[in-house]
Structure 1
């Protein structure tokens, strides 16, 4: 399927699915949700029976109705192969669900609804997912000249195509077709709806599409008057200075037309057209960008009938003083009004065939003016003078218009007065009575006056008022100018080539606003860049010349290239997007907008645009009514939408005095908003608005934590939930407040806090170990942090003290036979073993004692001064002490004197 054909179906189909489902939901609610009674807000399974896949997948909307504040909805959808296609449960969030389907078949949709502890509703329905028609309609079709274009809605090979109903409408809403194909010859927007009709007469698998059919180029035609009287002039203008050709056709008259070049038309309805009727003016232009497609637009105007009458041949007056001239007037058509200013006559409402006779007329020129509605027709009537005075007798010779090297020269009327010089006045009017010239003549035998080509009446008036007109209309033959066309205003966008329009063999001289001249032959272009007023002079290169040299002035206006950018205006949850041409304040009516695909086919024309595919595109904006600026379109890329992102939640246990951290992992580049929900063990839901847009939250209550993530369009693109429990592990680190160490020997007690997953030992704030037990070696303040299998951390503090200094107290004087003053030894708790030797002056050992597991501050090795039951002699003795500590790995020897008294 072409990417272009996918676009409109996608837009209209998905919008329709949403609208259709919502309407079904509304209708169902209206039928099943009474305002009072125990069935108020009763749940119901609402959703489509059939779903058409158009672009590989489609969305279906389902609703559970009910009361979203109290109800918990459990959804399950079973794939045709028996596997689980969709399963979700929860409160208000799941009252309505949107589910994507990409495989054909019959799906089973099941819903149960719990209110409190009671299941109040269970229901199921089938959804048939079928293949929809293959859309082939393109977003834009070119209309080339008079050739219609055919717009096709769907692939003609679509199965069961005859079962679909087609409705084509135009932008006015009029139905213009009922088949798969629509033949279009009129520019504009066209829309198609096709659908299947189910057994109950309802529509299913409705598909909508639309397109624009138009010319490659943007230009407009305007007419000075869409209804003009015969004899009047009509100007047809083009708002853009395009090269092309004009054709004029008379409606209803086969084979009556003629073609002209130019930038506009000035039409004389009397000379250029075929009488009253309706006329069609067509302009055609060929764009280099679309060489095989002619842009064509037309405009109509009507030429209405003018008054119709007849004037008889006048009867001359006998002379200047005898008013016996006459003529008769016959109204061939009914007339609203008849005027003859020279007779001060005004007559109204003349019927067809009515005759008016006018007699008793002096010689001279009379003007007959008639009117029907807004149309007038005037004619000159000349009443001759049969016997003019001698000084008013004359002959007339006429000289036609001629050409000079520079311009056209007017014709000449030359009058010879036959009987000597004439003094008086003259008056010249054209054939409809418009005064061309008046003036005085003084004593002239031959009188000349330049006059343009055309028919005119001439009369001379003597000082006494006697008139002698030329008896008939006089004609000055014309000399035609060379023919060429330029626009009145040429709007350009930077340096622009400009070629005057002509069919003749001409040489052109262009004078710019600075007076600089340049010359080109017909068909060659001038380079225009300076704004201002230009003069273009055309001269015939034929010999003899085909026309007189002529000049035309026009104005060049420099226009800035429009500033524009393609921007994403909006997007919905189904991947539909709207782009807009940002014009930075410019009026959209002043520019021409084109959206192109990467092959520069037109895919859109308006200020807003729906993408037709996921691909590269271009936007170009040109000034309307101007020569196009350089083609410099802005590229942009329409990327495939992200409908779903993976959502992962991780968390530990809630620990005593500590909240668990629930951490979200997802594609944050696609996420604009994050919503957190807490569901307690009773299925009550609380929206955790304080955590909106947080990527990790603190959970201090046992229950289910749910997260929903939304894109910048506000559409949900992912959801997940996680049960968070409190830790039941009651193990805590077992440590003493203080432990002894011996810096001298490097001894320290070993701390064993218990079994945990991890350990962190800190001394004065620095991490010193992560082992399960720690041998203290250094003095300081310690902090232990342990983490159990539930991820709970506990902290304990303790300190150390120096405990490896040997202290002992031994008797240095004792009294024999006094039990309170015997020899005794005391040691501190650093001492574990001790040996004592007492020698007399001769070095003889008199007492020895060895202590194992010596207790701190408990007497050991007491001696009463006897050896083998007899007291030793009085005197001075030497006591030697050897003290040991296996714990600290130390041994020390001390010697002191012992005096034995009686």
Structure 2
């Protein structure tokens, strides 16, 4: 068997050595973000952590991937470190259950070390282990990315270079896309199209497996197309239409079951099978074959199956014919040969539900008539006509007389544009006053009915087929006539019912007959060609193609087929990352607008222009530049530019910097802040550990980067990307503050608007201070001396970050008021001299001097009642005598040692009587 390798046409498979470039991005949209609590535990085999994975691997195509699991419990956090043979760290990963299993890419020959540290709760060193992995040079692979599959022949797939000396050391298994084993050995002979998987590994002397390699290739025909069925099942008496998703012409074959002989069924763009053309109910395989200019010796073939369902069957027996044409003493029985879902007889208005095989039903007292017996089963329907004629000759005593009509039939005939229907003509030769007719087609039922014209003549057009004619005159049913209408065969050719034009479309009607074609374009112009020649279509719209036979086919009727053409829709497409699971290999899908993905031809190219994929999904073998080209099917070539894109290494981790304040008395919480790359983080989750290492999830903080907490303990933040994949985590301890003393402030403080030596307010020892007057910051000093009257507030922050706030008001103690008289009446106690002062004066002295400056009276007081007279003088001098009438000098000294001020007031006093 010769090997056929196809580059780069049509289906190209990519041999993948499972290079796992873990992709962590998804298409934007609305999916629920995965939480740690939602992630199923990956491994339950081990109650305690343990590294599980291959001890030996083989490098093929420069690198190989190994998968390693750790086990453990839900909530464990895994820290992986991988070092290469030179001792250099090539991979570090830290995370929760999504990192219970990791994939490591090995690219060098030698011994690698995989180290694992597991944190359980707040115990960072709960488990530690390291594992050595021996990486060897792998075998020389010979598997191609794509193989041609030609009709009638198989293709040989080869895994390793046959000249390799170590083939016998490997076990090689071939599997289908679902993982089912297809065969073993270095070579595999396949007749099947599609992806084929290969798995090979070296078996050591001790039976241990190593050097595991997996890959895939695609096997397919040169031309990419699919067969489309109008239905996967149809019933006896019906038809099924078979076509393609691409306008191709070729040969159609049919066979019954997988062991039946394959027979040529026809040629063309499509084909139709009638149940009468098949050999009874069962499974049928229809095959289509065509060729391409690029590979003329390799026939492209596809096949698909459909099922012809058995229609329900019944045996009908006429048990009694009516004695004459008007009597109702006829009868027939129905015996079911199969189970049925329903039975109908429209002429009797009879309906019956489910019936069993073998069951019989009798219908007596019937008039002469054609009865339609309709039975249904599993969607299939059978109509049987019961021809219940009256006895001939009649056996009644006085049967009605009958005038037999003349009945003639005409077969279908050719017309200039196709086929003219046949007809049946009925002539009584005499007037008819009360007559009706019905025409019923065998296997189908009523086709036409009506009243017979008064002149006794009527004609009905009929297509080819077998019919029963029922005539009733004045209640007398005439003998039922059987009618046959012959077929007028037409020329045979096919064109696509619909096609899509990209600039131009070359249309050659498919036929094996000598036919002249005339194509009418949408604008009404015509073009004529013979079979074997092609029309070039450039206009969208409705087309009509007319074909008439030449030579030996001139006796066939012409045929007209209408079809429509559209210009290729304006399409736009772009690749996007589409990953369903965390740390899966990078996968791209297509965002396609204008046509559905089923209507598209897809090509993925690498940076060298090689086709590396044809499916709606694409798994790149590595980072780098790629491009995507999408063309609409059912059309000619469309000038569409490829879309370039770059595959980059995904973001697998982000920084997780955390800070926390201590929990303070007011407002009784601490603040935990996460600083990270918020553009990459789609969601966050928070976890709390108490002093006993009990774990509690905090769903109320989902998605937050800063949280307020009230309980001391350890708080852990977990970051997820848009896929819900963990890309970072960290934790921090939060303590309760022990610095709980608020600032010591009075409710009110005095200020002195005059020059003074007052000290500032000292609220205590704190880390920072903020003094506000009327909500405006006025100082950040540890002490503060207010200068204005009003409302003040103080905010202090302890070294633990706790904030305390208090407030106070001020009054101006130095802005006092003094009232004393400028005259007094000697001997009148109500009009003595006295001084009244306002708040702020704590000491006062009074001096009264005569005009010569001699002191005649002096008094000191520290007992000051505000708004009450002090320093009262009744006019008695220091010498005990009454003061003479006249004018005197008054000197007041007002003091407040607390505020450090003293004020002297001088005035005059008139003493009278």
TM bin, normalised by shorter chain, reads 0.5 to 0.7
User: Which of 646, 653, 656 is the aligned partner of 2:662?
Assistant: 653
The residue that corresponds to 2:702 in the other structure is 692
Report the 3-state secondary structure (helix = DSSP H, G, I; strand = E; otherwise coil) of the residue aligned with 1:751.
coil
Report the 3-state secondary structure (helix = DSSP H, G, I; strand = E; otherwise coil) of the residue aligned with 2:794.
strand
Matched residues in 1 for 2:874 and 2:843: separation?
22
The residue that corresponds to 1:128 in the other structure is 133
Report the 3-state secondary structure (helix = DSSP H, G, I; strand = E; otherwise coil) of the residue aligned with 1:701.
coil
Q: Deviations over 1:291-316 (max 9, x none)?
A: 6898731489xxxxxxxxxxxxxxxx
Larger mean CA deviation between 493-502 and 826-835 belongs to: 826-835
Matched residues in 1 for 2:660 and 2:139: separation?
48
The residue that corresponds to 2:500 in the other structure is 493
| 8 A contact 1:508–1:538 mirrored in 2 | no
Deviation at 1:664, TM superposition (A): 1.9
The residue that corresponds to 2:805 in the other structure is 795
Matched residues in 1 for 2:195 and 2:98: separation?
40
| 8 A contact 1:758–1:788 mirrored in 2 | yes
Deviation at 1:795, TM superposition (A): 0.7
User: Which of 745, 754, 759 is the aligned partner of 2:769?
Assistant: 759
1:694/1:153 CA distance change after superposition, 3 Å:
farther
Matched residues in 2 for 1:89 and 1:718: separation?
7
- Count residues in correspondence: 642
| 8 A contact 1:49–1:126 mirrored in 2 | no
User: Which of 509, 529, 532 is the aligned partner of 2:540?
Assistant: 529
Matched residues in 2 for 1:139 and 1:609: separation?
18
1:842/1:561 CA distance change after superposition, 3 Å:
same
Matched residues in 2 for 1:113 and 1:524: separation?
75
Deviation at 1:660, TM superposition (A): 0.9
Matched residues in 1 for 2:15 and 2:763: separation?
68
| 8 A contact 1:509–1:538 mirrored in 2 | no
Deviation at 1:724, TM superposition (A): 1.2
1:711/1:560 CA distance change after superposition, 3 Å:
farther
User: Which of 594, 597, 602 is the aligned partner of 2:605?
Assistant: 597
Matched residues in 2 for 1:262 and 1:137: separation?
40
Matched residues in 2 for 1:536 and 1:94: separation?
67
User: Which of 10, 16, 30 is the aligned partner of 1:8?
Assistant: 16
The residue that corresponds to 1:271 in the other structure is none
Deviation at 1:553, TM superposition (A): 4.8
Matched residues in 2 for 1:695 and 1:118: separation?
24
Report the 3-state secondary structure (helix = DSSP H, G, I; strand = E; otherwise coil) of the residue aligned with 1:669.
coil
Q: Deviations over 1:636-663 (max 9, x none)?
A: 8555432222222221111123211112
1:894 and 2:906 aligned: yes
1:879 and 2:885 aligned: no
Matched residues in 2 for 1:728 and 1:189: separation?
69
The residue that corresponds to 1:618 in the other structure is 628
1:45 and 2:45 aligned: no
Matched residues in 1 for 2:876 and 2:89: separation?
100
1:722/1:798 CA distance change after superposition, 3 Å:
same
Counterparts in 2 of 1:382-531, with a 5 A limit? 487-489=494-496, 491-494=498-501, 496-500=504-508, 510-512=519-521, 516-518=525-527, 522=533, 525-527=536-538, 529-531=540-542
| 8 A contact 2:686–2:716 mirrored in 1 | yes
Matched residues in 1 for 2:162 and 2:847: separation?
122
User: Which of 113, 119, 123 is the aligned partner of 1:107?
Assistant: 113
Report the 3-state secondary structure (helix = DSSP H, G, I; strand = E; otherwise coil) of the residue aligned with 1:706.
strand
Deviation at 1:873, TM superposition (A): 7.3
Q: Deviations over 1:230-288 (max 9, x none)?
A: xxxxx9997744489999xxxxxxxxxxxx9997999xxxxxxxxxxxxx9963213xx
Deviation at 1:739, TM superposition (A): 1.0
Counterparts in 2 of 1:628-643, with a 5 A limit? 628=636, 630=638, 632=640, 635=643, 637=645, 640-643=649-652
Larger mean CA deviation between 842-851 and 774-783 belongs to: 842-851
Counterparts in 2 of 1:730-879, with a 5 A limit? 730-742=740-752, 750-806=760-816, 830-831=840-841, 837-845=847-855, 874-876=883-885, 877-879=888-890
| 8 A contact 2:94–2:729 mirrored in 1 | no
The residue that corresponds to 1:196 in the other structure is 202
1:153/1:814 CA distance change after superposition, 3 Å:
farther
1:45/1:157 CA distance change after superposition, 3 Å:
farther
Report the 3-state secondary structure (helix = DSSP H, G, I; strand = E; otherwise coil) of the residue aligned with 2:655.
coil
Q: Deviations over 1:386-417 (max 9, x none)?
A: xxxxxxxxxxxxxxxxxxxx99xxxxxxxxxx
The residue that corresponds to 1:283 in the other structure is 290
1:759/1:153 CA distance change after superposition, 3 Å:
farther
Report the 3-state secondary structure (helix = DSSP H, G, I; strand = E; otherwise coil) of the residue aligned with 2:700.
helix
| 8 A contact 1:485–1:500 mirrored in 2 | no
Deviation at 1:166, TM superposition (A): 3.3
Matched residues in 1 for 2:619 and 2:205: separation?
35
1:749/1:645 CA distance change after superposition, 3 Å:
same
Q: Deviations over 1:439-476 (max 9, x none)?
A: xxxxxxxxxxxxxxxxxxxxxxxxxxxxxxxxxxxxxx
Deviation at 1:526, TM superposition (A): 4.5
- Say which one has the larger Rg: 1
The residue that corresponds to 1:210 in the other structure is 216
1:558 and 2:568 aligned: no
1:76/1:564 CA distance change after superposition, 3 Å:
closer
Counterparts in 2 of 1:716-731, with a 5 A limit? 716-731=726-741
1:217/1:685 CA distance change after superposition, 3 Å:
same
| 8 A contact 2:893–2:902 mirrored in 1 | no
1:701 and 2:681 aligned: no
Q: Deviations over 1:765-806 (max 9, x none)?
A: 344443433331222222211112221111111111231234
| 8 A contact 2:848–2:889 mirrored in 1 | yes
Report the 3-state secondary structure (helix = DSSP H, G, I; strand = E; otherwise coil) of the residue aligned with 1:285.
coil
Q: Which runs of 5 or more residues in structure 1 are unaligned?
A: 16-21, 30-40, 224-234, 248-259, 267-279, 301-405, 408-483, 541-546, 817-821
The residue that corresponds to 1:675 in the other structure is 685
1:490/1:602 CA distance change after superposition, 3 Å:
farther
1:156/1:778 CA distance change after superposition, 3 Å:
farther
Deviation at 1:719, TM superposition (A): 0.8
Deviation at 1:506, TM superposition (A): 12
Q: Deviations over 1:50-78 (max 9, x none)?
A: 2658887957544354x659xx8897868
Q: Which runs of 5 or more residues in structure 2 are unaligned?
A: 1-11, 24-39, 230-240, 254-265, 273-286, 304-415, 418-490, 827-831
| 8 A contact 1:707–1:721 mirrored in 2 | yes
Q: Which has the higher contact order (CA 8 A, sep 6+)?
A: 2
Deviation at 1:202, TM superposition (A): 3.2
Deviation at 1:722, TM superposition (A): 0.7
Q: Deviations over 1:796-846 (max 9, x none)?
A: 111112312345688999999xxxxx9999977745887765322444455
Q: Deviations over 1:110-129 (max 9, x none)?
A: 6689899999x977452326
TM-score by length of 1: 0.55
The residue that corresponds to 1:296 in the other structure is 299
| 8 A contact 2:202–2:212 mirrored in 1 | yes
1:245/1:826 CA distance change after superposition, 3 Å:
closer
Deviation at 1:574, TM superposition (A): 1.4
Matched residues in 2 for 1:116 and 1:722: separation?
10
Matched residues in 2 for 1:50 and 1:602: separation?
36
Deviation at 1:193, TM superposition (A): 1.0
Matched residues in 2 for 1:688 and 1:787: separation?
28
Q: Deviations over 1:187-219 (max 9, x none)?
A: 432111122335542333423221213345323
| 8 A contact 1:499–1:526 mirrored in 2 | yes
Matched residues in 2 for 1:106 and 1:882: separation?
96
| 8 A contact 1:756–1:789 mirrored in 2 | yes
Matched residues in 1 for 2:594 and 2:243: separation?
28
Matched residues in 2 for 1:95 and 1:518: separation?
69
1:155/1:560 CA distance change after superposition, 3 Å:
farther
1:141 and 2:150 aligned: no
Matched residues in 2 for 1:118 and 1:671: separation?
25
| 8 A contact 1:498–1:525 mirrored in 2 | yes
The residue that corresponds to 2:449 in the other structure is none
CA RMSD, Structure 1 to Structure 2 (Å)? 6.3
Matched residues in 1 for 2:778 and 2:226: separation?
86
| 8 A contact 2:690–2:714 mirrored in 1 | yes
| 8 A contact 1:50–1:128 mirrored in 2 | yes
